Amino acid sequence: MATTSAPVFDVNERDFATAVLQRSTTTPVVVDFWAPWCGPCRALGPILERLAREANGAWLLAKVNVDQNPRLAAQFGVQGIPAVKAFRDGKVVAEFTGALPEREVRAWLKQVAPSQIEQWLALAQHQEASDAQAAAATYRRVLEREPDNATALLGLGRVLLLQGDSQATAILRQIKSGAPEYATAQALLALAPLLNAATGDTDAARAAVEANPRDPEARWQLAANLAQRQDWEGALEQLLTIVQYHRAWRDDAARQAMLAIFALLGESHALVRHYRQRLANALFG
């Protein structure tokens, strides 16, 4: 009978549904269909077992002796061994047959379960919505392991920039031009002048605008506070108003901030399509 805590365990026809199918709804389970007489099985088995222990619970390894469990082998279409199948949510999501070298097994496992770094990155991205300090700490944890991890550099830079931390720009500039995250990092850097003006007191900034609607400084301050809260629509509305009435203010700072927000959100975003048209109308209409 399979134990609930061991990373490697034997399963049979009686406990497969519970130990593999049910368990895979919470943790990926890799099933190794093997037999004692199979030479390639004896080569692959120790690799899988070692990697399962290294995974520290990110995925589990279930061993099925096909000689003792022929109906399981037939049920899952095993025609040659070793046959390795990964289960998530009770279904096979990846598989291979034959004894692969360790490098290829590691690559295959990336389809099955996230690495520790990937788990930390997912956690940090989730934390950003509710606890920026925790997110920053998790991103830093990734960077301790992988100092050049562009996803972590972007995440940490974004969090710090929205908090008004002066370290943000230096972190974002570490992202190399060839990285997929580079364009977003550049957009955030272009937003730095706006975000650095945020005071955190949106109500006071809004009151200042209401008191003097034509004051570009007041609108810039309100846009900064709204952008810090990631209220991009509110920030774009304030910046557009500055463009409409004070185009040359601060060397075209409001238009440049709008373009930076467009780059950050991406051209397919509904706000970008809407405000790009309105910006064009303000400039050329």
Q: Give the long-range contacts of residues 247-256, CB within 8 A, separation 24 or more.
A: 247/283, 249/216, 250/216, 250/220, 253/193, 253/194, 253/220, 254/216, 254/220, 254/223, 255/279, 255/283, 256/190
One pLDDT digit (tens) per residue for the chain, 285 residues: 444 568 999 999 999 999 999 999 888 999 999 999 999 999 999 999 999 998 888 899 999 999 999 999 999 999 999 999 999 889 999 999 999 999 999 999 988 877 778 889 989 999 998 999 999 999 999 999 999 999 999 999 999 998 889 899 999 999 999 999 999 999 999 999 999 999 989 999 999 999 999 999 999 999 999 999 999 999 999 999 999 999 899 999 999 999 999 998 989 999 999 999 999 999 997
262 SS3 class: helix
Q: Do 137 and 94 share a domain, yes or no? A: no
Does any domain span residue 195? no
Does any domain span residue 187? no
Question: What amino acid occupies position 105?
Answer: V
Catalytic, 21? Answer no
Active-site entry in 8, 20, 41, 86: 41
Q: Do 12 and 102 share a domain, yes or no? A: yes
Q: Do 132 and 80 share a domain, yes or no? A: no
Of the candidates 31, 10, 111, 15, which has an alpha carbon nearest to the alpha carbon of residue 77?
Answer: 31
What sign does the dihedral 136-139-144-148 (CA atoms) show? negative
Q: Do 45 and 138 share a domain, yes or no? A: no
Of the candidates 134, 32, 130, which has an alpha carbon nearest to the alpha carbon of residue 84?
Answer: 32
Does any domain span residue 217? yes
Catalytic, 38? Answer yes
Domain final residue pick, 109, 140, 172: 109
- Could you tell me the CATH number of the domain that includes residue 140? 1.25.40.10
Residue corresponding to tokens 């809407």: 274
Domain range for 138 is 116-181
Cα distance between residue 141 and residue 250, in whole Å: 39
Does any domain span residue 188? no
- Could you tell me the CATH number of the domain that includes residue 239? 1.25.40
Task: Report the side by side order of strands in the sheet with 8-10.
Answer: 8-10, 60-65, 29-34, 83-88, 91-97
Active-site entry in 11, 19, 31, 38: 38
Cα distance between residue 245 and residue 231, in whole Å: 22
Residue corresponding to tokens 């927000």: 261
* Distances, alpha carbon 14 to alpha carbons 2, 11, 19, 69, 241, in Å: 10, 8, 9, 10, 70
